[in-house]
Amino acid sequence: MSAPIYDRVALIGLGLIASSMGHAMKKWGLARSIAGHAKTEATRAAALELGFCDEVFATAAEAADGADLVVLAVPVGAMGAVAAEIGPHLKLGATVTDVGSVKQAVIEAVAPHLRAGIEFIPGHPLAGTEHSGPRSGFATLFQNRWCLIIPGEASPEAVARLRALWEGMGSNVEEMDAAHHDLVLAVTSHTPHLIAYTMVGVADHLRRVTESEIIKYSAAGFRDFTRIAASDPTMWRDVFLTNKEATLDILGRFTEELFMLQRAIRMGDGEELFDYFTRTRAIRRGIIEAGQDTAAPGFGRTKVDEK
């Protein structure tokens, strides 16, 4: 076990990411105590039952009171309201971070509610499964995954401490500015999710193919689309509403590429298709070589991995 990095951590929102953080901090001794807040009594009870929180509270303000680190793990659209609630209760010197998939909108929503003396360091762990809720978390979720943090105007000491926490949970940490983060994630996460939702929607509306056939004969590609499209709808609604500019930019570029492929197929241009698929195949190899996935059958995904 490591020496505790924070004395008291408050998890605001107790879903997949927060529960996994709680389990990881417990497993490696990274916090002396963990407080939690969730809207429902059932979720708060589950957090205590599972042991990733030492105490839970009915309000975010109570959970954040006296915490050295407050983690906002609520949908992006709710962060401003939560920040307004907890702001007056934060102790001087505390760090506030988040785990949202969009950063510029979070900064605009949260920063105005934090008084001088509070360190605000937005963050984004690039880890997850299609499951949600307090029972979906597990301590090793962040192992060998990247966590991006936005230092902004925070002190080097506060940034180093938060970095140490994520590294203690197994993450590789990279610092990035908010605008670049949102563009990178539009390419690697947001637009692929939108495409997955769209493809599953197309299958649902294609009446010449029955629902039973879609389920029975779904090949690996479509199964992966459905896995991605099973992600939390509230979270993804907020992502697209708060990262409009970057997502629309990448969607425009995607549309241009799609038109090019349509033309190649229509014209029977096999050489163009082969060259294109060869170039894009190299990206997959790079992901495997970087240790961010495996070449094993089924992409190495097992029920244990996806718990």
Dihedral sign (CA 215, 218, 220, 225): negative
* 279 contact partners, CB below 8 Å, separation of at least 6: none
Output the pLDDT for position 305. Answer: 42
**Nearest of 21, 12, 96 to residue 52 by alpha carbon:** 21
Q: Would you list the domain boundaries of the chain?
A: 6-176, 180-267
| Long-range own/partner contacts, residues 41-44 (CB < 8 A, 24 or more apart) | 43/14, 43/133, 43/134, 44/14
Dump pLDDT digits (tens) for 263-288.
Answer: 999 999 999 989 888 888 887 777 77
Rounded to the nearest angstrom, the gap between the alpha carbon of residue 148 and the centroid of all alpha carbons in its chain is: 10
In 3D space, the residue among 4, 185, 8 whose CA is nearest the CA of residue 95 turns out to be: 8
CA distance 137 to 17: 7
Q: How many CB atoms lie within 10 A of CB 285?
A: 10
pLDDT of the residue at 211: 63
Q: Which pTM does this prediction carry?
A: 0.78
Going by DSSP bridges, is the β-strand pair 123-125/55-57 parallel, antiparallel, or unpaired?
Answer: unpaired
Give the pLDDT confidence score for residue 237 in this predicted structure. 86
Q: Specify whether the CB–CB gap between 129 and 136 falls below 8 A.
A: yes
* Local structure of 201: helix, strand or coil: helix
pLDDT of 242 reads: 85
- Looking at the structure, give the CATH architecture of the domain made up of residues 6-176: 3-Layer(aba) Sandwich (3.40)
Query: In the prediction, which pLDDT does 222 show?
Result: 73
Extract the residue ranges of the chain whose pLDDT is less than 50.
299-307
The span from the CA of 239 to the CA of 83, in Å, is 18
List for the chain the helix, strand, coil content (%; round to 5): 55, 10, 30
CATH of domain 180-267: 1.10.3660.10
pLDDT score at 279:
83
